Structure 1
Amino acid sequence: MTTIWRWWAYWPVWSGYAAAAFSLLYGVLGLYWWAGRDGFPFAPIDEDHASASILEGSRVEVVAPVIAAVGLLGAVVALVMTRHARPGRLSTGLVVFGWAMAGALVLIIPDYTLIALVAFAPLLLVFAFTGVPGDQAGVGDILYWHRTNLIIIFVGGLLWAAATLAYRRRVRAACVHCGRRHGADDGPSRQTLLWWGRWGVVVACLAPLPYEVTRVAWALGLPLGITSDFLRMMQDTPGMLAAGLGCAVASAAGGVLTHGLVRRWGEVYPRWIWFRAGKRVPPALAVVPASIVSVTIIPAGLMFLWTPETRGTWALYVPSLFWIAWGVGLGVATVAYHLRRRGACRRCGLGHVGDDRPDVLRRAQPSGDRERDSSGVGARDGSQGNLH
């Protein structure tokens, strides 16, 4: 574990080379597919094995050369970003290209596959040993090439995001690990970050409500927003309504946990968690899962903008569009939480040590809120201290 952590700590160094390797690989594959070879991951395929990507069903003679050109160009750009770090038009162009690559690969091209993996990861692990119930032959019938390709593309987009962020920080002469600069202002106050975080939490909790309500209604036998025939089809399909109900329940539970991003129990374990009561909550415990959900739910929502098949039934279409707002709100709340919780950078030394220690948070919180929070009831954080 220590070795993995040390390797991860150097992400500003290796992310650029990893992005270059990813782009080179897909550039070469683009040439391979353009030459008429098999395996083009967006080729028309039977409905049971098609993805919902914006590129699904595209023509290889049109898309493959674009993949080759963008991939090979991206490999060159990523390598340049590992070396050139001076302000100017070139650096601006590189940053724009890098963020465009990250946005396309993470948010635009993927579909619901990523959020489905997050939601059903425990079941997939079980299915790997027990087999997939129903007519499917195995996990390969779930993670077939058209879907697996989208996962690879998503990971490549994350590499591009990391490489571009590190490069941008080098251009600004900031710490590549935390983004702080010597002589710069202290940044938003803790109270300002809480304000942004609370609005993000409100959006993240309200946006999935239409999805949750419709799926619960269907599980109860109410054809809310759908025809009776469609409801009977779902009732006759084993596990279909149960899966929707499970996702709705998981979404509601996630909404409860989302409040931890702006509550004291998201920073200090409350009394009802007796074995950790009063101890500091590791920021990564909230930041990592919240970040994963926020960046995987957005492409699932965007997917419905170019999936006309669902537009005839509003309960299949409209609630899923709100996922975009869900992901954005959760992302804002997560970033605000991260900035509020981070202490001094281990690399550059900038920032204040112990901003989120339990004793600091306890002194910063009004006495009435401390009393309510000690009983496990949600608290209102009224701290005024600046965060660095």
Structure 2
Amino acid sequence: MTTATLTTTPARPGPVRRAIRAWPRWTPYAAAAWSAAYGLLGLLWALGVGGYPFGPGDIEDAREESLLGATTAAGTGPWIAGLGLTGALVALMLARMSARGVVRVALAGWAWANAVLLVVLVPDQRILTTVAYTPLALVGIPFGWPPMSYAEFAAKMFPWPNVNHYVCVVGGLLWAATALAFQRRTVRACVHCGRRAGHAHGWTSPAGAGRWGRWAAYAAFLMPFGYALVRWAWALGVPLTISQDFLDELHESGLVWAGAYLATFAAAGGVLTLGLTQRWGIIWPRWVLGLAGKPVPRAFPLVFATVVALSLASAGSVILRLTDWSDPAEWAGSPMTLFAPWAVVLGAATFGYYLRTRGACRVCGRSR
């Protein structure tokens, strides 16, 4: 009696997965295309074409908090055009060049500066607002909260100036990927995972990331409760850090309940942050019906935590810029001053989870 041995060929990944895996090759060209396109918009705005999303073209209530709220299309459009064209050329250089020394530092610095500008500084708290309120609206609108239709909610939350913030974030992420691929390639590391042969990775090893990532996750768990406790106190009628008159105004307008929702949303996010360092962040726990015992898709916590961290970073940059730090009553009395440090520790916890849970690289084969 003979036994037939069947061999199977691993399923070929789909086009989306193949594109994701090939990100070091295409992101520099995507960053170049984005920069050229946005630079062209800047030129059109400078020539008088409508649609300039900052200053007079922005939502009136948001101009004061925007980094570019005092700008005009005629004054800033040429700068956008020039920086966009220059950025496109630099991105193409980063795609092909193998620079060293001062040139390498200058090119990488340009790329990272673009990433920070477009992801953190140009957007404002509207990114965080839409991230926080959209899930509530998707579930609550059929039940009358908020009292509007989905079309009305979309028109209110996603006008062109707000959408432009997301356009800028996409460009910033392309620049971050471009910078990362360039840095890895120019030190002869694997462009996909960053590992180098014969290099001791220390703090980036799974064990090292597990140690410091745990402390970052605990800090990111505790941080939102400082914000949430203040908002919950307001909802319960306790004027914590504010005057009674201001609290009465919040209750009369109903805004206090929106704050209570945000507090609950933040606290829930803080609890979920523990998953970045606990076993249930890797294996679904028993109480998750239908998924108990199965592996948690690694992209799920990484994408969710990254979106929240970047949203907090853009909102936190506004608070850091507008707060009068010479007045202790102002910065100590605002729970939103926690946004910036919360973004830092949540970002660190997310990076630690990424390093701790990654396996052997599919390209270079290295696992350490």
Q: 1:242 — aligned with what?
A: 257
Q: 1:16 — aligned with what?
A: 28
Q: Where does 1:1-388 land on structure 2 (aligned, <5 Å)?
A: 2-44=14-56, 47-48=60-61, 50=63, 52-125=65-138, 133=147, 137-188=152-203, 189-238=205-254, 240-273=255-288, 275-307=290-322, 314=330, 318-351=334-367, 388=368
Distance (whole Å) between structure 1 residues aligned to residue 251 and residue 92 of structure 2: 54
Distance (whole Å) between structure 1 residues aligned to residue 331 and residue 34 of structure 2: 38
The 1:131/1:139 distance shift into structure 2, 3 A limit, reads farther
The 1:186/1:224 distance shift into structure 2, 3 A limit, reads closer
Q: SS of the counterpart of 2:334?
A: helix
Larger CA deviation: 302-311 vs 3-12: 302-311
The 1:131/1:274 distance shift into structure 2, 3 A limit, reads closer
Q: What is the CA distance between 1:197 and its match in structure 2?
A: 1.1
Q: SS of the counterpart of 1:194?
A: helix
Distance (whole Å) between structure 1 residues aligned to residue 319 and residue 256 of structure 2: 20
The 1:33/1:274 distance shift into structure 2, 3 A limit, reads closer
The 1:208/1:18 distance shift into structure 2, 3 A limit, reads same
Aligned-pair identity (%) = 41
The 1:312/1:262 distance shift into structure 2, 3 A limit, reads closer
What residue identity is the alignment partner of 1:20?
A
8 Å contact 2:235–2:256 — kept in the other structure? yes
- The root-mean-square deviation of aligned C-alpha atoms, in Å, is 2.8
Q: 2:8 — aligned with what?
A: none
Q: What is the CA distance between 1:126 and its match in structure 2?
A: 6.2
Q: What is the CA distance between 1:309 and its match in structure 2?
A: 9.2
The 1:6/1:263 distance shift into structure 2, 3 A limit, reads same
Q: What is the CA distance between 1:62 and its match in structure 2?
A: 3.1
Q: 1:367 — aligned with what?
A: none
Give per-residue Cα distances to partners, 1:259-309, cap 9 Å, x unaligned.
Answer: 111122222333444644444333222211111111111111110123359
Distance (whole Å) between structure 2 residues aligned to residue 199 and residue 138 of structure 1: 39
8 Å contact 1:304–1:317 — kept in the other structure? no
Q: Which structure 1 residue ranges, 5 or more long, are not aligned?
A: 352-387
Q: SS of the counterpart of 1:208?
A: helix
Q: What is the CA distance between 1:342 and its match in structure 2?
A: 0.6
Distance (whole Å) between structure 2 residues aligned to residue 137 and residue 10 of structure 1: 39
Q: What is the CA distance between 1:125 and its match in structure 2?
A: 4.4
Number of equivalenced pairs: 351
8 Å contact 2:286–2:292 — kept in the other structure? yes
What residue identity is the alignment partner of 1:193?
A
TM-score by structure 2 length? 0.86
What residue identity is the alignment partner of 1:82?
A
Distance (whole Å) between structure 2 residues aligned to residue 113 and residue 9 of structure 1: 31
Q: What is the CA distance between 1:137 and its match in structure 2?
A: 4.8
Q: 2:10 — aligned with what?
A: none
8 Å contact 2:53–2:161 — kept in the other structure? yes
Distance (whole Å) between structure 2 residues aligned to residue 197 and residue 127 of structure 1: 35
The 1:255/1:308 distance shift into structure 2, 3 A limit, reads closer
8 Å contact 2:141–2:147 — kept in the other structure? no
Give per-residue Cα distances to partners, 1:308-338, cap 9 Å, x unaligned.
Answer: 5998974896321211111110111111111
Larger CA deviation: 190-199 vs 98-107: 190-199
Distance (whole Å) between structure 1 residues aligned to residue 324 and residue 218 of structure 2: 31
8 Å contact 1:302–1:321 — kept in the other structure? no
Q: What is the CA distance between 1:81 and its match in structure 2?
A: 1.1
Q: Which structure 2 residue ranges, 5 or more long, are not aligned?
A: 1-12
Q: What is the CA distance between 1:201 and its match in structure 2?
A: 1.7
The 1:220/1:307 distance shift into structure 2, 3 A limit, reads same
